[in-house]
Amino acid sequence: MLSSLYYSFTDYNLIQVPTWVGIQNYREMADDHLFKISLKNSFLMTIMAVPLTTLLCLSLALLLNHQIRLRSFFRSIFFLPSVVPMVAAAVCWMWYLNPQYGPLNKFLALLGIDGPNWLRDVHWAKPALVMTILWVSGPTTVIYLAALQSVPSHLLESAELDGAGWFRRFWHVTLPAISPAILFNVIAGLIDSFQIFTQPYIMTVNPQNPLPGGPANATLVYAINLYNNAFKYFKMGYASALAWVMFVIIFICTALVFFTSARWVYYESEGGEG
């Protein structure tokens, strides 16, 4: 980490000895339109991915919390995608999203929907990548599941006795009880989505776009721009500076979420508010 901080103040092309340039790399970022585009793309991906992941995983956890037959089987099934190596999964996703042969568009056609050209369409490439993020959210579901099982049952029972329906029990008892888990998953999801690399790197390369990040920079996320600068444009010093800026941005976002959490997160150890 320290050496990357050092490199961020140098001009380093990986082949020759780095030369000190002070804060020039950081100044360059202000004018770099690819930096701004990649920042925007990463923010958009995070804003799409984190709420959707929370909704999906929480819903799945609620369903998996019931005493149904084959419960462990279903739990394993939903956890399995996160165990598959991401590179292999990304290659499979490319086939899955193929507009002509892929199962997704064939399925949409059954519903009468004309599926888009996913990875080659400027508007649908990012949603396609968000889908792959949702697909590997098994661990998040497991964490929610564990949290759900530690909801104090006496509170749920007394709420039921007081005449609260399912939704009110969920909103006033369950949610506050699992809010620490939600906080953890939101922060973890934020950090992960912002740094996503494998899926765009593998899935957006094709004969039309030999460099990842297409089409028209729609999937040029922060990590991809960093990678291009480091390994294609011989600007390892600039890439190191980009890495440190990413660290600071994620740190600030995490801190924001953490500090506003006092208003909506309830810890069991505290007085019992809520």
Partner 1 sequence: MVYGRVFLRRILIGVALTIVSLVLFTVQAAPKTITFWHYWQSDEGKALEEVVQDFNKTHKDLQVKVLSAGTYENIHEKLLTAITGGNPPDVGVCSTDYLPEWVYNGALISLDSYIKKTRFDLSDFYPISLKLATINGKLYGLPLNQDTYALLWNKKLFRKAGLDPEKPPKTIAELDAMAEKLTIKNEKGEIVQLGFLPDWPWSHFPMVAWAFGGTFYNEKTKKITCNDPNTVKALEWEQSYYKKYGLKELNAFKAGLGEYATAGYAFYTGQVAMVIEGEWQPNFIKLYAPKDFEWGAAPFPGVTPELSGQTQSSATCLVIPKGCKNPKEAWQFIAWMERPENAGRFDAAISNVPPFKSLGQDPNYVKDPRFQVFMKLLENPKYQIWPQIPVAMNYMTQLGTAEEHVCVAGDKDPKEALDEVAKAMQAELDKALKKKR
Q: Are 64 and 74 in contact (CB under 8 A)?
A: yes
* 99 in contact with partner 1 (CB under 8 A): yes
Residue 111 binds partner 1 (CB under 8 A) = no
- Of the candidates 192, 187, 178, the residue with the CA atom closest to the CA atom of residue 257: 187
Which residue stretch of 86-94, 165-173, 189-197, 216-224 sits at the interface with partner 1 (rule: CB under 8 A)? 216-224
Instruction: Report in angstroms how near the CB of residue 122 gets to partner 1 at its nearest.
Output: 4
Residue 100 near partner 1 by CB under 8 A:
yes
Is the Cβ of residue 190 or residue 202 nearer to partner 1 in the bound state? 202
121 is a contact residue toward partner 1 (CB under 8 A): yes
Q: Which of 10, 132, 217, 219 binds partner 1 (CB under 8 A)?
A: 217
Question: Considering the rule CB under 8 A, would residue 117 count as an interface residue with partner 1?
Answer: yes
First-to-last CA distance in the chain?
43
- How far is residue 43's CA from residue 49's CA, in Å, rounded to a whole number? 10
Q: Give min distance, CB of 212 to partner 1, in A.
A: 9
Contacts (Cβ under 8 Å, ≥6 apart) of 174: 148, 151, 156
Piece of 13-21, 79-87, 151-159, 240-248 that binds partner 1 (CB under 8 A): 13-21
Closer CB to partner 1, 121 or 160, in the complex: 121
Greatest Cα pair distance, the chain, in angstroms, is 74
Which range touches partner 1 (CB under 8 A), out of 6-14, 55-63, 77-85, 241-249?
Answer: 6-14
With binding defined as CB under 8 A, does residue 146 bind partner 1? no
Q: Classify 20 as helix, strand or coil.
A: strand
User: 116, 176, 200, 237: which one contacts partner 1 (CB under 8 A)?
Assistant: 116
d(CA 265, CA 274): 10
By CB under 8 A, the residues from 149 to 208 that bind partner 1 are: 205, 207-208
Closer CB to partner 1, 36 or 71, in the complex:
36
Cβ–Cβ under 8 Å, residues 49 and 134: yes
Among 198, 209, 254, 261, binds partner 1 (CB under 8 A): 209
3-class SS string, 70-96: CHHHHHHHHHHHHHCCHHHHHHHHHHH
Task: Answer for the pair 135, 83: CB distance below 8 angstroms, yes or no.
Answer: no
Q: Is residue 257 close enough to count as binding partner 1 by CB under 8 A?
A: no
The CA angle 84-90-91, to the nearest 5 degrees, is: 110
Binding site for partner 1 (CB under 8 A): 11, 13-16, 31, 33, 99-100, 114, 116-117, 120-122, 205, 207-211, 214-218, 231-234
